[in-house]
Structure 1
């Protein structure tokens, strides 16, 4: 049975449901996992799936000065090893090109991880190729264990090419979640076949639109659903007597999500349209976005729910007609890959509008399973939103087509097969044969 140390930047995180889904699915296939987190959790809630994951978590020193004796103890143990000096030579080359405390911190964390790994560990696996990838790479150099990686979005596009190329040459294989990512990483690798496309996929046992009663919201957050309904339940358009159409977006308030553009587009909607917008997610730009909504005169039509666990997110999807995500590429190159929230919304029969960047067109076929608009184009986004608010028949058509496509082509059961194969795990067919044999 394969035993793997899985390195994460932080665990658990509400914004990384796709990672939790993967961990749970690999555990079910028989992979023995030791989770390794570079940071302690900051979210006040967890998703139900986090409580189902059995893997223990080892939290490395988030900052070396907080646990100096743990770092010193590790250093004393590894100094006599020849692999330490080879690692130090590699690290020094990295440091000369990236003279930051972060680079020193990753070395210290790798030393601690190397000496604290369970004795039977056979493989190192990182989620995100930037900082978790660095800690995993350094640990591999020190221990001699092979390492692999899953790369996603920001970690790819904000990491220098020299660093990506060196990591790609050393790791055994890399999985990434969009064709755009795959092509870029393959162009940097001496062995392009190492880089494979693995969509995240959804677990449709959890995202089952046909049986919403199977998922109940925790009592400590259920009031937020009621508050949204109470605020708008009696509102209708005085001229048309039409009900409020709920729009929703789920994502952290960071620049690449384009929420500033979305608020501008909402402010330009015709007055005769009756809508409300619900946002779920935390993030550093949240306070500024709330102020922007006030300046634009739409604050009374916007509800900010903050970060929420999966049950609450599902409850809001099921009350919504349109999902909007105005993703964009930021000045430093950061961007979305293929946001799982788009798949989640489509699985619940919600019509989607999104930017036509990165891997999003791999999921949404414009005018067939959703609407795509250029990034940073307020006018185009306004027209798309207005079209779906006013044309309920077209909206329902897109929602049904999107739900059909995501459930048939983006299932976790399908995508997890490739990762299971990389770890030498039995396929679902082999597992089925074994169970029938018993």
Structure 2
């Protein structure tokens, strides 16, 4: 087996509570023997960390988040870049991109790539980007500048909000690209002639962290005002999560149905959603808990009666891939209600191991919520089937084995 090379992993921000699936993958690669250095384009803003972040040994290097904040560092990157063999090719590519995307963001990615090219931490021998939008731009520019090969993990928003021309360019120059849903995989394969270089790789879960829950689920039916059914939702308060749809669905539930909901997560739309809940007359039944550590989220999965996430396609095309929280909740025998968006149907089959309704349809969502609340036996049957699905097909070790094979195949070619 050839020696494993030093990989510089380019991330938009690190660490992030909402991207534990990435941290889990990084830890898995370290355990598989890979030597990583993390290159973050932004500094962390979350006040809490997940336990997995503390287990990752890789050093973190932060690029200038805004070029004007570290002008000397950027200038040194530019001066050093002038003497590199790939500088002319980089500028040619940058100018071609700039014609199609005239933005400050484009200049920022160039500046960050030049800084990375000059500082080049830990003698990196390979570049890997998480997300095919801005992190892949920095990574590809650094690859052109230095001649270092690069690969990419694409996810959800980054695929669906990137223009086709840019995806085509990046898919053409990356050695390979993996993505975590069948819909993203199929879409990217339509945009490149190198279809063999696009791979489907579900993130999965570290099932050691989400062990089997052997406790009893409640038999609540929503009939007892003193013991209402417990609905849980975990996700950022952003358009694609569909929380306005969920609130409208909750407001449509029959008056005699007793329920309460906890929401876990941050997001820019929290204030608007709280105001909406108040207008709908349901604010007294909802607790907005903000971001929480993973162990606290796990405790909520185990105490809840059902999990709801009303995924939708946002106006700008942004959408989820396969939300990791649905996999997490399913692993705990918690029945999930969600929508027919992106990779959700790849995990949940309506009436088999979950309840799945059309997006942006509060009425259908309310009907599914009521059915699950009133029928504990249904919740148990679907929850048990969901756990079986996760433990059979969504173990993250499968993804790590696949990534290991992809990296090693490239390095064998180069040896």
Sort the TM-score into its range (normalised by shorter chain). Answer: over 0.9
Contact map agreement 2:213 2:333 (CA 8 A) in 1: no
**C-alpha distance in 1, partners of 2:354/2:207?**
20
Equivalent residues in 2 for 1:84-233, closer than 5 Å? 84-118=87-121, 120-210=123-213
Task: Write the distance in 2 (CA, Å) between the matches of 1:242 and 1:397.
Answer: 25
Contact 1:282/1:306 (CA < 8 Å) preserved in 2?
yes
Mapped to 2, the partners of 1:282 and 1:322 lie a distance apart of: 20
Provide the secondary structure at the position in 1 that maps to 2:121: coil
User: Does residue 408 of structure 2 align to residue 421 of structure 1?
Assistant: no
1:23-422 equivalent positions in 2, closer than 5 A:
23-118=26-121, 120-210=123-213, 240=224, 243-422=227-406
Query: Quick check: 1:257–1:327 contact (8 Å CA) kept in 2?
Result: yes
- The match for 1:11 is 14
Determine the C-alpha separation between the residues in 2 that align with 1:419 and 1:80.
Answer: 34
Q: Is the 8 A contact 2:265 2:292 kept in 1?
A: yes
Distance across 2 between alignment mates of 1:116 and 1:210: 47
Q: CA deviation at 1:119?
A: 5.3
Kept after mapping to 1: 8 A contact 2:85/2:146: no
Distance 1:335 1:277 in 2: 24
Q: Once the 2 structures are TM-superposed, how far is the Cα of residue 211 of structure 1 from its aligned partner? A: 7.5
Q: Find the counterpart in structure 1 of residue 5 from structure 2.
A: 2
SS of residue in 1 equivalent to 2:172:
helix
How many angstroms does 1:8 deviate by? 0.4
Q: CA deviation at 1:171?
A: 0.5
| Aligned equivalents of 2:300, 2:362: Cα separation in 1 | 25
CA shift digits 1:177-231 (9 cap, x unpaired): 011100100000111011000000000110113379xxxxxxxxxxxxxxxxxxx
Q: SS at 1:39's partner residue? A: coil
Give distance in 1, aligned partners of 2:81 and 2:224: 74
In 2, distance between residues paired with 1:378 and 1:236? 21
Q: CA deviation at 1:241?
A: 6.2
What stretches of structure 2 of length at least 5 have no aligned partner? 410-415
SS in 2 for 1:58: strand
TM-score, normalised to structure 1, is: 0.90
Q: Deviations over 1:327-350 (max 9, x none)?
A: 001121111111100000001111
In structure 2, the CA distance between the partners of 1:190 and 1:44, relative to structure 1 (3 Å rule), is same
Count how many residue pairs are aligned between Structure 1 and Structure 2: 402
Checking the alignment, whether the CA contact within 8 Å between 2:238 and 2:268 is kept in structure 1 is yes
Measure, in 2, the Cα distance between the counterparts of 1:125 and 1:364. Answer: 30
Cα deviation per residue 1:299-335 (whole Å; 9 max; x = unaligned)?
1100101111111111111111101110001121111
User: Within 1, Cα distance between the matches of 2:26 and 2:49?
Assistant: 15
- Deviation (angstroms), 1:80: 2.1
SS at match of 2:263: strand
Farther-moved stretch of structure 1 (57-66 vs 244-253)? 244-253
Q: Structure 1, unaligned stretches of length 5 or more?
A: 213-234, 426-438
1:357 Cα deviation (Å)? 1.2
**Is the 1:236–1:243 contact (alpha carbons within 8 Å) kept by the matching residues of 2?**
no
Residues 418 and 236 from structure 1, CA distance in 2 versus in 1: closer, same or farther, beyond 3 angstroms? Answer: closer
CA distance in 2, matches of 1:57, 1:166: 28
| Aligned-pair CA distance for 1:78 | 1.4
Contact 2:224 2:258 in 1 (8 A): no
Cα distance in structure 2, aligned partners of 1:415 and 1:38:
25
In 2: Cα distance, 1:4 partner to 1:341 partner: 28
Partner of 1:434: none
1:22 corresponds to which of 10, 21, 25: 25
Separation in 2, partners of 1:47, 1:309: 6
Please tell me the root mean square deviation across aligned C-alpha atoms, in Å: 1.5
